[in-house]
Structure formats: C-alpha cells, structure tokens
Amino acid sequence: MKIVTFLLLMLAATSVTNAQLLKKLKEKTQKVLEPKNETSNSSNSQGSSNEQTQKSSDAKTPTAPPTNGSVIFSMSSDENMLYDESKIITKSNKVSYSFVIQNKKYEYFLIEDGNRTGPFKDAPIKSMKPSEESEDGGSSNAGDEVSIGDKKDPVAIQYGKTINGKLFIVFNNKNYGPYDYVSKMIVSADKKQFFALVTIGSQSPMMAKMGMGNTYMVNEGIVKQKAGTGSSTMPMKFSVSEGFKHCMATVMDQTSQKIIAVTSANKQEEGSMADMYSGAGSNSFVSDNGDIISVPSQSPTQVLVNGKEAASFKVPIKSMDRLFLTPDVSKSVYYEKGKIYRADGTEESLSGVLFPKVVTVGNETAVYYFKIYKTESGTKDVYLCKKVI
C-alpha cells in the first residue's frame, strides 16, 4: 500500500514538474522574442549588441571619479565589458573578479584580479550565475537538481565504479560505499573534497536501484547523515555551502508524506510542494555552519533560519543571489535596482553600482561594488569601491 501511495505522489510531483517546465519554456520563449541588451557571439549581431552594451555603460558612468574606491584596471575607448561574461566571487573575505573585455575588432581579453590576458577569438569564460547587473531575473535552481531512475548524474558517472557487482564512489584512489544509487555528487574546486546524495537500501531492490529508499548525505570524511525518517524517500534537491563545509538535501518523505530539508549538521526544516515548484528559482541554501536559510514563497519578505524568522525586509526577495547575510542575520541586507535594503527597515541608494557583494571581515560588514568612470581622454577606469554598512 505504501509503495502505491509513493508512486501516486511521484506522479503528482511529476505533473507539477511538467506544468512548471511548460511555464518556464513559455517565459523563455517570451524573453527570446523581446529585445535584449546583450552581446551576441554571432558576427552578424555583434555590432548592434556592442553598441547597446556601450549605451548601457555610458548610462552608468559617474560624472566624477568615486572617492571610496581605487582603479583596478582600465579599458580603452573602443573596449567594452561583457556583463554576461563576468564572474564576481568572494574568497577568503576578499572580492575576486574575472571580466571579459571586447574591442571593436571583436577580440576578447580576460582580466582576472588586475591581470590581462589575450586577445582571444572567443570569450574565454562564462559566468556560473546570472549577472548581478540583471535586475529582473531570479536565481537559478538548476544547480541543485538531482537524478533519479535512468537519469544519471554526470559527476557521479565520472567517479562511480562497479566493484564485484556493487556501486562505489572512487575518489582520490579511495573507495566509498557501496551504494545502491548516487543521485548527485559535488566535488570541490581543488578536487580534494566531495559531497554526495546516495541511496542505501529500500523497501525493494528495484526501488533502491532507482534512487528511492534510504537517502543519505555522505562525503570523503565522516559525514553519513540520513535525510528523512522512513525507508522510502524521493530525493529532490541537493546543494553545498559556499565554503564547501556542509551540504543540504531536500527529499519527499513517503512515511510522513512531507517535504523535508536536512543538512549535514542535522538541521531540519519542513517545506512545501509550492516552494519546490514556485517558479522563482531556488529559495533556500545551506550556510557554512550548516543552517538552512530560506525565503518562503508565500511570504517572500521573510528570511528563515532553520524554519524560524531571523530577518524581515520591506520588499520581497526576488533573488537569493542578492541577499547578503551577516553573522547576525537580523542585520542582513538585500540589494535590488540600485538600492540597499537593510533588515532593520532602512534603505540607501547606490547609483551606478555593478556586481555588489557584501563581505564581513571581523566586526565590519561592507558592500563592495564596481563603477566605471570615463576620463577626458576617453579611457574607462574600472573602480572597486567599498562602503561600510
């Protein structure tokens, strides 16, 4: 009876997923038909797109050099920044950046932390996240989707190996397992760590081999944390914290028939199918200390930590990428359309801001951002600015 109920739940979830997919395809089609200020890789459209990018840059150019920043690199008058080909990250409490520059000859240059290389015939990098400059897009949840059934996770395939008829993860010459199924595997940038979502046993061998059963989060160390209480769970999402210290799994627990998010620190939060398929992208993530940070779709001004309100904003949070959490979550900030919103209800305008990132060092929290200043000679200086908040 439980298996029948579980399969019905699967069909219901699949129906919701298909409806959501159709909605996303429709929205994507509409966006394609609408004019965009993007630079195309096609030689037929590069000229007009480049001109649009130039207009966008000129509109953001301040009338005077910023006084709270310093020049990190410069562009000549015929060079423009490709906003969709940029990557801005925080690492070791510092802002690190990679920009792609294009000139009128359609040559590309890569600028990483002040070092310029090139020219290249093709743009050398592609951002892993939507550009922070985009004001209307939400964060993507494609990165936390898991595999189930015949669909296989490509990273799990790379590191998976069958030994004596059993499935293992072989990582840095060590065997981990055996497992019945690996729904998702995430490897750190230095290739020294991994987190994986696996199935170990089920109500039947067939269900276990499809990835439905006892769901566990594992890594190359001591982590072996179960997600859900029953022996029949369907994995739905899996992600890792920014510093690669903890992971989080979201499963549909067949025993309780609830959506449950669990971290490797054993923090839990009950979710809903509406949040899973709200269409607003991923609305939760795991912090480096193992807490579940979420924004409920039915109350998008709230920030919850492990299911309890920790902060509230005067505007809805449309993108988790623009929500910047401070050690005291009640003092966190949210950036949208040139404004910084604080959880205490205050706000502040920042004109001409590109790629804002909030970084906390010690007791000081500041927003770092970029500004472009056009000099009298036509050179465009790019400033990295800092404002304590």
Q: Mean of the pLDDT values across residues 303-320? A: 92
pTM assigned to the model: 0.66
pLDDT (0 to 100) of residue 274:
61
| Site of tokens 């060590």 | 174
Judge whether 294 and 274 are in contact, CB under 8 Å: no
Band of the pLDDT at 350, cuts 50, 70, 90? confident
pLDDT (0 to 100) of residue 280:
45
User: pLDDT tens-digit profile of 203-253?
Assistant: 888 989 988 999 999 999 999 999 987 678 899 999 999 889 999 999 988
User: What are the strands of the beta sheet with 160-163, ordered from one edge?
Assistant: 160-163, 166-171, 174-179
Phi/psi of residue 312, each to 5°?
A: -145, 140
Q: Is the pLDDT of residue 185 over 70?
A: yes
| Distance of alpha carbon 307 from alpha carbon 324, whole angstroms | 18
Contacts of 303 (CB under 8 A, 6+ apart): 293, 294, 295, 309, 310, 311, 312, 313, 317, 323, 325, 329, 332, 343
Band of the pLDDT at 32, cuts 50, 70, 90? very low
For residue 371, what are its two tokens? 């500004």
Q: Is the pLDDT of residue 48 over 70?
A: no
Strand pairing report for 302-305 and 292-294: antiparallel
pLDDT (0 to 100) of residue 101:
92
Q: Is the dihedral of CA 67, 69, 73, 78 positive or negative?
A: negative
Higher pLDDT: 80 or 277? It is 80
| Distance of alpha carbon 49 from alpha carbon 286, whole angstroms | 38
Q: Which of 128-142, 176-190, 201-215, 359-373 has the highest mean pLDDT?
A: 176-190
Question: Average pLDDT over the chain, rounded to whole?
Answer: 78
Judge whether 100 and 124 are in contact, CB under 8 Å: yes
For residue 139, what are its two tokens? 């964060």
Give ∠ CA 111-67-52 in degrees, rounded to 5. 50
Q: Is the pLDDT of residue 61 over 90?
A: no
Of the candidates 375, 372, 376, 385, the one whose C-alpha atom is nearest the C-alpha of residue 81 is 372
pLDDT (0 to 100) of residue 276:
61
